[in-house]
Every structure is written in C-alpha cells, then in structure tokens.
Structure 1
Amino acid sequence: GRHENPDSLGVDEINAMLKDGIECPTCSESKWSDARSMDLMFSTRIGSKKGGRVAYLRPETAQGMFMLYPALFRHFKQKLPFGAIQTGKGYRNEISPRQGMIRLREFNMAELEYFIDPDEPPSPDLGVWDEKISLIADPEGAHAGEYSMTISEALSSDIVRHPTVAWFLVRTWDFLVGVGIDPARIRFRQHASTEMAHYADDCWDCEVGGEHGWVECVGIANRTCHDLLSHEQHSGSNQLRAWRQYAKPHIEIRDILSPNGSVMGPAFKGAAGMVMDALKELVEIPDSMPFALTLADGSSVEITDEMVTRRSEEVAVHGEWFTPHVIEPAFGIDRIIWHILDHGYTETEKEGENYSIMRLNQSVAPFDVAILPLFDKDGMDHIARQIWASVNSMPGLRGELDANKSIGRRYARVDEIG
C-alpha cells in the first residue's frame, strides 16, 4: 500500500494500485473513485466581467527574474556568473493544507537564479568543507543508495553531477546549521529521472527531519537554459543571451551578402544605411532570392538578387553569443522557520515541574541579553533600565528587561523564548 515516490506516478498507475485493496486510513473502506489530474495553479481574471482575461497567481518567484535578465546582465557589466535573489509569496492549490506551516496554499519563499556559462561553470574549492553530509542518490541511477560523505567526495564520485550544484548543496547545509537546524537531521535527496521537473538536468531536495517526518525545505535544481530559451522563443527577443570571448580569434570562412550601393540607395533612400547594417548582422545566408530582411526597428524589406553580391571571405571571430544556464536554490521560508522552532524546543523537568526550553541559535534568537534585577526598588530598577537602554543602543543587540515575579520564573520565561 505504499510507494516510495507517489508524486512520480501517472493517473493509470495510481488507479491500478488502488484496485489492489488499499484501505482508507480514516474509514478503512477501499471504494476509491478514479484518480484525476489537478491544476496546482490558482486561476483568476484580470479586468472586468467578460472583458477580463485569465491569469494565474504565481507558483514561484523565478520567472520575474528571467524576464529581468537583460537589466541584470547590464547591471553586472555583462559578465557571468551573477545571481539575483527574490523573496515573496507563492501560491499553490494544495489539495489538503495541513501540518501547520508545512503544507500551505499561500507561503513565503526565497529563490536565487544563478546565471553561469555552461562551458566554464563556477567550481569553488570544495575541499574547505570537511563535514560529512547525508545524501540519497537517484534510486534509478548508477549510484543508487544512501551515503555519508563530504561534498568533495560526492562530486568526484559523480553522485553530484555538477560543481556549482555541489557548491550550493554545501552552502545550503552551512546556512541551515547556522540558523539552528540540527545537522544530524539534514539530508539531501536526489530526484529520480521520472520525478524530475521537465526543465531540470539535475535536482536535489534538502529535507529536514522533524515532528512531521522528513520535509522538503530547499530545492536545488540545474535548470539549464530552459527558461531563458523559452522566453526567447516566445518573445522573439535576442537580449536573453551572454557573450563568450575567445582567448584567441577564430578565423572562419563565411558567405556574406555584399550590398550593391548603386541599387540599394535609390531603392531604400534614407533607410539604405539601416538595410546595409542588417545585412552585416545576417548570420544565416538564404539559399534563394528574393528574401525578407528584418531591420533594427522591427520593419521588414525585400532583398532582391541585383541588390547584393554573394561572396566568401575570411572573418576573425572574437567570440560568440550563447544562452546562459541557471542553477536555482529555492528556499521554503515557512518550513525552515518551523523546523528552527521544532529543533530548538525541548521539554524537561525542573523541581518536579514541566520545564520548556527554546534553544535558538544566536543568529535567530529574538533577544541576546536578559536583564533580570533581583529587586524592583531601592534604585535597582533604575540601574536595570539604564543597562537595558545601553544594550538596545548597541547595533545588532536586543535586550529583554523582566522584573516581574520570582527570579526563577523569569529565568524560565527567557528560556522559553530562546
């Protein structure tokens, strides 16, 4: 009655499994209706009544950054690699919201789109990380199984297939441990080929163990050039690329169309210069004449045989345009916060009574210092307030002043808030 990865099953496979007598955990019945596909995106309408058009709430923040790629490329001085981070709300039509902050229809996320040259991917020195991390490799791949090894060993043994993906895996591990997640309850699970998103070449989920079992909190995917290429194909834009400079110019023999000025001038008049510039930028020479030539302003003109002369020449090529690849770490903020609290919370006993402690990492604790005066009189309350004000005036520090009830009760309260 169980499947290791039910998300990878199709409708027919699910229906076949349901016929094997699987019982409902609530009512113990096995009378199942047929499985059917469900749209996980929320639809809405933009505009009024019949004049409106269908739109969808975003299931991820990534696409906005792909659309802004030309501006980002200019901002980073037209050099790769570079990245953009966006935080915000995501919306998914979760079938059964449950488990507190784990399964939500509206949730907070943070995504990084890291644009790289696939021929020269960033390959940081992974040897500086000597911690062993838990890895579950692709169950359908050559390295299926569970491993505990350093990230450098995982990359060299081809369990992790890409150096930049490996770098983000270990950086994610660093971040989660740094905010208070128990390193013994962090693992990275590689997607099987049947589970992987259509745009990904490799994908890992960072799963964190807690009250609700192992929960995906971060996804790290090699999205290749899928997104930029799709936007380019549908928009017709040529600004979603990057320039790769060659170390030495390449000499190539190319066919070119040399303009005949005495014919083009009278034919195109003031636009003749624009037509000649468009001919110089022509990459693929048409096999026959006449043909339509698109100009820089988006207009089109017809080029006839007498306007140009076809010839071959040696051209020094100094580089090439290519579509960058993208490595994307996507963080589920709500789920991470949930597990920070889950891993930090401890119940114990003190003097025969239940005693709750929240052991938060200093980097996320709401308070750094507790000021607990023994008395709230004889000037001690004034001194305590001075200390409290002095602490809160220091950049990056936050103090809590508590003068109510017994000192034991106050210790307990500050233990409860981390």
Structure 2
Amino acid sequence: TAISSQNLMFNTVIGGGKSGREGFLRPETAQGMFTNFPSLYRHFRQRLPFGAVQVGKGYRNEISPRQGMIRLREFNMAELEYFIDPEAEPVHDFSIWENLLITLVSDQGEEISQSIPAALNGGVIRHATVAYFMAQTYDFLIAVGIDATRLRFRQHQKTEMAHYASDCWDAEILGSYGWVECVGIAHRGCYDLEAHEVASGQRLRAWRQWSQPIEVDKEVLTTVGAKAGPAFRDMAGLVKEALEALEEIPTEFPIEVQLSNGEVVTVESEHVKHHRVLKTVNGEWYLPHVVEPAFGIDRIIWHLIDHAWCEVEKEGQDYSVMRLAQIIAPIDVAVLPLFEKDGMGQLADGLNRTICSTKGLFSYYDGSGSIGRRYARADEVGVPWCVTIDHQSLEDGTATIRQRDSQQQTRCALADIAEIIVSGKVMQLFT
C-alpha cells in the first residue's frame, strides 16, 4: 500500500464565489488565546505570570475514529495557557504533595512511584511549572472520581515530542480500552507567540523591567515632519512615538505600525528618517514562555463512568452501582417515603423541596415501588445519598440517611440534612 499524507485539519471556504477564503476548523482552542495575548496582557495589568482558560470544541479529521468517545472527529476540550517569564519563573509550593506517591513513566520507559516534588528535584520532570500543573491535575482527576490505582503520568519520548515542546507529560487513565491519554501538560516555550508575531507583524511580547537602567547608543526611526504631518494629521505624534519604540529597524517599506490607541497605520519610506540617539533603557520586551495543560473532556467523562460503574451480586442477583463522586453526580439526594400515607409522603415532599432550594444540591422524590427497589434505582444512576422518611420521622423529626457506596445507614435530624450534605459534614456520620 502506498504511503500518503492527510491533513488532520478540516478545511472549508469562508464566504462565497471568488471572494471565498480558505479556512480551517480549529484542531485546538489554544491559538485564539495566543492571538489575543495583547488583550490578555492588558487585562492582567502587564504582569506575569497569568493564565487564560478556554473550553470549547476541537475538530480533527481522524482517519479512523473509533472506541466510542475515545477518538472523535468533533470533541470537547479545555485548555489553559499559562504565560511565564523564562528568566523569573514562578515559585510553587509543593509541600502538600511531598508525601503523595504518584505513578510516573519517564521518557526512558521506566515506571516509578515517586512524589511530584521528588521527581522535579531529581530532574525527571524538567520544569517546575509543568510539575505544579501535574500535581494540580492529579488532585482534580482524583476529586472528580478517577481511581488513583488506574492513573499515571507518562513523559513523551524525544521521538514523539511535539516540535514546540521542551517537556511534555500525559495523564493516562486505564479503562476498557487500555491506557488512554486524557490530559497533556506541555512546556511550549515561546514557539506560538513567536510564530504569530512573525506572521502578523504585531508585537506579542511582555515588558521586563530592569532593576537598574542603562544608557545605550542606538539607531532609531523617527518621522519626517513635512511628510508625516500631512499624511497622519492628528495621529502624527502617535506615529512618531510608535516608530521610535520599534526594537528592530525595518529594511523594507511600507510597514504596518500599531499605535498606542490601538489603530494600525501604514508608514511609507518617505515618512521616516534614521538617526542615532543616546537612550536610557529601563527594560526590554521579551517573548513569554507558555505551559499548557490540555484536558480532553470526553475522554475524562468516559473514564469517570468506566471507573464508577460497579456490578456486584446481592441476594443472588446482579446489582449495579454507579459510584460517582458527589461533586459530579447529577443528583445529590433521593428522598424516599417508606409509605405514601400517614403523612410520610407529605413530609418527604417538603424535605425534597427544602433540599432542592439549597444552593449546590439537587434531589428527587420517589415514592413508587418497594424501598429496596427504590434504593436500587438510585444506586444505578449514581445518587450518593438516600433519605428515607418513616414512622419514626413523624414522631421525632429524624430520617434515615443511606450512603450509596457502603450502603450503611444512620439517622439525622430533618432540619440538618440539607446543610450537612452540602457542607460534606454528612461523611462524619459514617466514621
């Protein structure tokens, strides 16, 4: 079979007829954040480090999409672009992860169990900010319900490393399809900003202030008043200011110059002249480096369900439980009256309304069928807590709370149920 190449970006035509322009569906959300760097830089008051997050769809013309939600042509992703000064990288506090052992696979293929700070200090992880986001990613995946024994971080080998990356780690999750990359954490250097800067002619840099100013003799451009004045009128002063601030002297004209008011003007060779000045320089413009954690939302959700689904035998029959973490469970509480009579149904309905009105909680009422069947329905859709209203509830204002995973039960005051569940204090009742 002959080898052929395929563009993994979907191409299209923007507009109609002869005026149509070639366009592509984005394969990642990242590039929009790079082109918007000047706006982000102003938003964060010209101070690094800072990050921008975007959640959205990506599109890739996969040759063979398969394995359910694992490999799709249209998929959901969340990406963070964290901009840092390469000469003043942020200092991260790793103390909370010092004793947390995580499975790491180095670029040599060696699997080790080591803490993130130890791997950083030992040179296995090459950049502190990459290590920091690896630790944060681990905490996030565990919090939403990924099984820690089926999670590892694998370092890219040199033969698979992206051309722009100096270090890259994948958070891989073990599921029905084996180990699958679900999060990529890459140090992209200044590749993207530099490429967009070259292609657009616009400065995509940050300012680094020096502790002591220095004086330099340098060649600069300035305007020729007789030519620039009539050409630019009231913007002539801004044009002069922009030209004198250029770091590099252009060799060809015309050039596009962005003014401090945001406007872009075209400057011809007749508008400018060269001269040398002795300038006091307080700093320099530099290209920030970027660390990017990129999350495949669909793949993470797939593995959350894969890890949460559990089938056990109960009373001689198959019993299914969806062990979703409460932070992602669509339904937090099932309110179940033992019987819908003698006031139990009315009391349960009132409790259900109270829970639903509590910020951060959602519950449903189920009074149909045996109590065991109702527990089973709640377990199957991942409801963490079942509250049962019985005859004792009518007498002393308490109810039974049942924990899904252990299926243990205890009693609690009706008035406290919503508050202890939303605050997480309910777990203390089962310790």
Q: Which runs of 5+ in 2 are unaligned?
A: 260-264, 383-431
What residue identity is the alignment partner of 2:316?
G
Query: C-alpha separation between the residues in 1 aligned to 2:280 and 2:362?
Result: 63
1:361 aligned to 302, 325, 345, which one? Answer: 325
Q: Confirm or deny: 8 A CA contact 2:254 2:267 kept in the other structure.
A: no
Query: C-alpha separation between the residues in 1 aligned to 2:122 and 2:269?
Result: 56
Confirm whether residue 331 of structure 1 aligns to residue 295 of structure 2.
Answer: yes
Q: Confirm or deny: 8 A CA contact 2:171 2:181 kept in the other structure.
A: yes
1:108 aligned to 63, 76, 80, which one? Answer: 76
Name the residue aligned to 2:391. none
What residue identity is the alignment partner of 1:254?
D
Give, in angstroms, the shift of residue 368 of structure 1.
1.8
Query: C-alpha separation between the residues in 2 aligned to 1:412 and 1:268?
Result: 80
What residue identity is the alignment partner of 1:253?
V
Name the residue aligned to 1:156. 121
Q: Within 5 Å, give how 1:12-91 maps onto structure 2.
A: 33-91=1-59
Give, in angstroms, the shift of residue 303 of structure 1.
7.6
Name the residue aligned to 2:66. 98
What residue identity is the alignment partner of 2:348?
A
Name the residue aligned to 1:14. none
Give, in angstroms, the shift of residue 145 of structure 1.
1.4
Q: Confirm or deny: 8 A CA contact 2:216 2:281 kept in the other structure.
A: no
Q: Deviations over 1:51-92 (max 9, x none)?
A: 423221111111111111111111111111111111111111
Distance 1:233 1:368, change over 3 A: same
What residue identity is the alignment partner of 2:344?
M
Query: C-alpha separation between the residues in 1 aligned to 2:245 and 2:130?
Result: 36
Name the residue aligned to 2:151. 186
Query: C-alpha separation between the residues in 2 aligned to 1:309 and 1:279?
Result: 12
Q: Deviations over 1:106-160 (max 9, x none)?
A: 1111111111111111221112212111111112xxxx51111000011011110
Which deviates more from structure 2 when the two are superposed, residues 170-179 or residues 89-98? 89-98
Query: C-alpha separation between the residues in 2 aligned to 1:45 and 1:202?
Result: 36
Query: C-alpha separation between the residues in 1 aligned to 2:104 and 2:161?
Result: 17
Query: C-alpha separation between the residues in 1 aligned to 2:184 and 2:267?
Result: 44
Distance 1:284 1:385, change over 3 A: closer
Name the residue aligned to 1:322. 286
Give, in angstroms, the shift of residue 277 of structure 1.
4.0
Q: Confirm or deny: 8 A CA contact 2:333 2:363 kept in the other structure.
A: yes
Q: Confirm or deny: 8 A CA contact 2:219 2:274 kept in the other structure.
A: no
Query: C-alpha separation between the residues in 1 aligned to 2:18 and 2:275?
Result: 55
TM-score, length-scaled by structure 2: 0.80
Q: Deviations over 1:355-393 (max 9, x none)?
A: 001111111112222211110123221111111001101
Give, in angstroms, the shift of residue 184 of structure 1.
0.9
Give, in angstroms, the shift of residue 34 of structure 1.
3.0
Name the residue aligned to 2:390. none
Name the residue aligned to 2:402. none
By relative contact order (CA 8 Å, sep 6+), the higher-ranking structure is 1
Name the residue aligned to 2:211. 247
Query: C-alpha separation between the residues in 2 aligned to 1:330 and 1:414?
Result: 34
What residue identity is the alignment partner of 1:69?
F
Q: Within 5 Å, give how 1:162-177 maps onto structure 2.
A: 162-177=127-142
Q: Confirm or deny: 8 A CA contact 1:294 1:300 kept in the other structure.
A: no
Q: Deviations over 1:220-250 (max 9, x none)?
A: 1111111111111011002x1101111222x
Query: C-alpha separation between the residues in 2 aligned to 1:283 and 1:359?
Result: 59
CA RMSD of aligned residues (A): 2.6
Give the 3-state SS of the residue equivalent to 1:154 in structure 2: helix
Which deviates more from structure 2 when the two are superposed, residues 65-74 or residues 271-280? 271-280
2:343 aligned to 370, 376, 379, which one? Answer: 379
Query: C-alpha separation between the residues in 1 aligned to 2:238 and 2:200?
Result: 23
Name the residue aligned to 1:126. 94
Q: Confirm or deny: 8 A CA contact 2:216 2:280 kept in the other structure.
A: no
Give the 3-state SS of the residue equivalent to 2:337 in structure 1: coil
Give the 3-state SS of the residue equivalent to 1:298 in structure 2: strand
Give, in angstroms, the shift of residue 281 of structure 1.
2.9
Give, in angstroms, the shift of residue 286 of structure 1.
8.9
Q: Which runs of 5+ in 1 are unaligned?
A: 1-32
Confirm whether residue 207 of structure 1 aligns to residue 185 of structure 2.
Answer: no
Q: Within 5 Å, give how 1:300-315 maps onto structure 2.
A: 300-302=268-270, 310=276, 313=278, 315=279
Which deviates more from structure 2 when the two are superposed, residues 276-285 or residues 315-324? 276-285
Give, in angstroms, the shift of residue 45 of structure 1.
1.8
Q: Deviations over 1:276-304 (max 9, x none)?
A: 546643545799xx998876533123489
Give the 3-state SS of the residue equivalent to 2:169 in structure 1: strand
Name the residue aligned to 1:370. 334
1:137 aligned to 106, 111, 114, which one? Answer: 106
Which deviates more from structure 2 when the two are superposed, residues 272-281 or residues 91-100? 272-281
Query: C-alpha separation between the residues in 1 aligned to 2:124 and 2:339?
Result: 61
Give the 3-state SS of the residue equivalent to 1:194 in structure 2: coil
Query: C-alpha separation between the residues in 1 aligned to 2:76 and 2:220?
Result: 55
How many residues were matched structurally? 371
What residue identity is the alignment partner of 1:45?
V
TM-score, length-scaled by structure 1: 0.82
Q: Confirm or deny: 8 A CA contact 1:291 1:302 kept in the other structure.
A: no
Q: Within 5 Å, give how 1:398-417 maps onto structure 2.
A: 398-417=362-381
Q: Confirm or deny: 8 A CA contact 2:228 2:271 kept in the other structure.
A: no
Query: C-alpha separation between the residues in 1 aligned to 2:254 and 2:366?
Result: 79
Distance 1:138 1:316, change over 3 A: same
1:348 aligned to 273, 292, 312, which one? Answer: 312
Q: Confirm or deny: 8 A CA contact 2:312 2:320 kept in the other structure.
A: yes
